[in-house]
Amino acid sequence: MSKILWGGATASSQYEGGFDGEKGMDTQDCRPYLPRTSNATTETRLLTKKVIDKAKDENSDLFYPFRKGSRGVDFLEEDIELLAEMGIDLYRFSISWSRLFPNGDELTPNEAGVEYYDRVFKLLKEKNIKIFLTMNHYAVPLNIVEKYDGWKNKETINLYMRFSEYVLTRWGEYVEYFLPFNEINAGYFSPYNGVGLVKEEDGNYSFTDVFQSLHHQFVSSAKTIKLAREMGIKGTFGSMISCFCYYPLTPKPEDNLKLVQDEQVNQWFCMDVLSKGEYPYYMTPFFKKNDVVLDITEEEMQLLKDYTCDFVSFSYYSSSISTTDEDGKQTAGNLVVTTKNPYLKASEWGWQIDPVGLRTTLNKVYDRYQKPVIISENGFGANDVLEADGSIHDPYRIDYFEQHFAEILKGKEDGVDVRAYIAWGIIDIVSAGSCEMAKRYGVVYVDADSEGNGDYKRYKKDSFTWYKNFIEEQKKG
């Protein structure tokens, strides 16, 4: 087996900034920062028309952090120098759809956006850093949501393919790994982020709308792979889900059955379609129970079968508990909540720290799909402190890395074909879960707070040196 590539990641909406006059408004630009409350994560990821209208109001009294991100557009050269100094093998980033096509339905791209990404690809090539390109990381041009109803509309497939074709044509030669959609199962548990669906004021989503939207993303993924193969693109194409590593709360048979069902719908469904090329058996009774009726053609089903992904990837931050007991104490997770695990410690944000769960997930994913596996997101969000001398001491992150990397290497020894590990938010970015800068993942500190105050200067954390040394040791071995 080949050596594991060690990398880092950002996402355009959380990192770039450069909003005013340089890109169109997208779905992430409408998400406000709210001081941390028990409902902040829900209120900032399940948006209604009322919330979006306020975001479009120039006189809104709220701060919209994704419009600034980490000001990556301004610090691009410095940031890539830092990545090169760290010695990472692989950098995962995403293209902003609305930076290339501000409204999402233009016939030709925005030249300022093209010039920016030309710089990104050129600089990474000069530093010999391999590229893992996320073609769409949640952010959808707002015009597509308002004019076309987001991914619910089949026409959005055509708009995405225009965007996709341009990206493949102009930058396809630079890319090692392509990912058409980030955490595609988020369309189910976070429909605004995942598929651009606006929540009704009464709080309900239509399951038919959610799964029809997901189907349109499945078709777009297959069409993108088909197009790339016809174009002779050399890179490989993957799919990605958010993984939660479920455990039953008790040995009670009902809890274990609940675990199987939670995994099927929340975790495996999207990857089953994209990796195996067909809808899994367990969705038939689920659709029947929830009155889901989908518009799917035979031609689309053939596309899914003919153009499956080459590799599978997943995000993993913490494990989850499945139980039929509705009275269990809840804690937070990656855009979801779960029952607390009494055997695990948790981060300040309630995410349960479980390194062994990562090894478990690697084995489960590889056993199920038998394709190369990439850990496309993992990391530790914390409230880091910039000291007066410019240092940032983050032993908790180093400890998190040490424990999780040890389990990845054990997973490799188990026989899992692990191709890469990508540390999330390698440079501090706005958190997608809570819309704040305070929840930092990076090994590079960005001097800005959750309300956009600060000079955004970059500082190396202790974990920067630790990760650099770890990568050097892996290359020797």
CA–CA dist 28, 139 (Å, integer): 6
CA–CA dist 182, 96 (Å, integer): 13
pLDDT at 427: 98
Catalytic residue among 16, 377, 407, 436: 377
User: Which residues of the chain fall below pLDDT 70?
Assistant: 1, 36-42, 326-338
Contact present, 66 and 433 (Cβ < 8 Å): no
Contact present, 16 and 69 (Cβ < 8 Å): yes
pLDDT at 438: 94
CA–CA dist 336, 332 (Å, integer): 6
CA–CA dist 231, 157 (Å, integer): 19
Whether 183 is catalytic: yes
pLDDT at 349: 72
Catalytic residue among 16, 183, 300, 436: 183
pLDDT at 296: 98
CA–CA dist 331, 349 (Å, integer): 9
pLDDT at 200: 86
Domains along the sequence of the chain with CATH: 5-476 (3.20.20.80)
Residue 243: in which H helix or E strand, if any? strand 236-243
Could you tell me if residue 117 is left (phi over 0), alpha (psi between -120 and 50 degrees) or otherwise beta?
alpha
Whether 377 is catalytic: yes
Nearest-10 Cα torsion for 121, 122, 123, 124:
50
- The per-residue pLDDT for range 178-199, each reduced to its tens digit, is 999 999 999 999 999 999 999 8
**3-class DSSP assignment, residue 336:** coil
